Amino acid sequence: MGRLFGTDGVRGVANADLTAELALGLSVAAAHVLAEAGTFAGHRPTAVVGRDPRASGEFLEAAVVAGLASAGVDVLRVGVLPTPAVAHLTGALGADIGVMLSASHNAMPDNGIKFFARGGHKLADELEDRIETVYEQHRTGEPWSRPTGAGVGRVTDYMEGFDRYVAHLIGVLPNRLDGLKVVLDEAHGAAARVSPEAFARAGAEVVTIGADPDGLNINDGCGSTHLDLLRAAVVEHGADLGIAHDGDADRCLAVDATGEEVDGDQILAVLALAMREAGQLRKDTVVGTVMSNLGFKIAMEREGIRLVQTAVGDRYVLESMKAEGFALGGEQSGHVIVLDHATTGDGTLTGLMLAARVAATGRSLAELAGVMQRLPQVLINVPDVDKSRVTTSPELAAAVAEAERELGSSGRVLLRQSGTEPLVRVMVEAADIEQARAVAGRLADVVKSALG
């Protein structure tokens, strides 16, 4: 059996890869592993379980709840809420475990299971590995130890979760949004109710699109992976800005009043300056990844803010933030983590904080985002090559060195191995898009010839 847990929980096609039996078995295994680890010591354990609106989430939620309750865990079922809401409620309610059923920005047929530890933090890798091992042992025949009578878990619908999470979002905002008109694209996902409610309570005039989930339309031509509808709606309604979430609302992208995209790097730049002004940007540092646009790095250096770059993936950003005590980090894709107020990327919180900065300064989002000039970035995937040799090929090293000499300080080259496929990603940034394309094309040809 291959490793079930990826970088963001267990994910696959619902009812094919991710079955009810797997969901139930993993939930029982998680309860046993956390009991072994002492998480439940001295008290009756509690879990928070939430989901996004996918049709498959209904039967998978039932399976997870059944598995946890059968293992003696009381379950608070919070219904359809964003991933960061489930993480927040896990911490706020003192629960021992949180479970979110979502495949984030993936298409509707997929689903996933993500576990949170006490406090709402991502489960440690070693605990995920142990859950897999225990699950496999029992899947192949070893019987579970099961409570009976009053020892079985009880299941309660916790409908207060919605208001409690929205109140949390409003409570951490630095200022109100009165006078702003905002268009929200909810991707027919988990934030379809939460995000409009939070923006409205904060004082904004709200226009919503993609806020009618039917279980089948999540991420379908809308949300943070498809911005065209949002661009058009912002212009049509004369809004100050637009905010787009993905299916589980752990990410946020924006568009300005003209319909121009404001990506995760630009959002981080705006929030970094706002937080430093408020004395909240610890060590005057923001965390990004190696894929952060060079324009972001140049802007932060100019503003006297240090940029720490990690491997690609919000988990690596979060690890760096927690290890070093940094307050702000994120990715170009719109995963933004404000660690003082959230344990994971929170798209609704990010959107609210961005809008709050517009309201507080009286400046347009375009002007605020203009603190950084996004350099043209070209990405070419080169398939069917020996990716393991990307750092050892002399021919490739010479080509990269030549490209870096040509680009100078106004450009950048990055070669990355795919984590899941036999391909190498060639990324080139330059002040001029044609130069970026030419250099990327030449490097892609060398990757093909040297590693093919």
Q: Is 393 within any annotated ligand binding site?
A: no
The three-point CA angle 300-304-308 to 5° equals: 55
DSSP E strands: which ranges in 32-80?
46-51, 74-80
- How far is C-alpha 69 from the chain's CA centre? 29
Q: Is 248 within any annotated ligand binding site?
A: yes
- Cβ atoms 418, 358 nearer than 8 A: no
Q: Is 70 within any annotated ligand binding site?
A: no
Residue type at 384 in one-letter notation: D
Q: Is 185 within any annotated ligand binding site?
A: no
Q: How many CB atoms lie within 10 A of CB 82?
A: 32
Q: How many CB atoms lie within 10 A of CB 316?
A: 18
Q: How many CB atoms lie within 10 A of CB 390?
A: 21
Nearest to 243 by CA among 121, 111, 350: 350
Radius of gyration, CA atoms only, the chain: 23
Nearest to 328 by CA among 339, 319, 320, 314: 339
DSSP symbol at 145: P
From the candidates 56, 102, 104, 224, give the one annotated as an active-site residue: 104
* 320 is a catalytic site residue: no
Q: Which residues of 278-313 are buried (b: 16+ CB within 10 A; e: fewer)?
A: eebbbeebbbbbebbbbbbbbbbeeeebebbbbebb
Count of alpha carbons within 13 Å of 123, Cβ hemisphere only?
29
Alpha-carbon distance 325 to 187, whole Å? 33
Q: Name the 3-class secondary structure at 154.
A: coil
Q: Name the 3-class secondary structure at 3.
A: coil
Nearest to 126 by CA among 48, 34, 47, 49: 34
**What positions carry a catalytic annotation?**
104
Q: Residues comprising the binding site?
A: 104, 246, 248, 250
Q: Residues comprising the binding site for Mg(2+)?
A: 104, 246, 248, 250
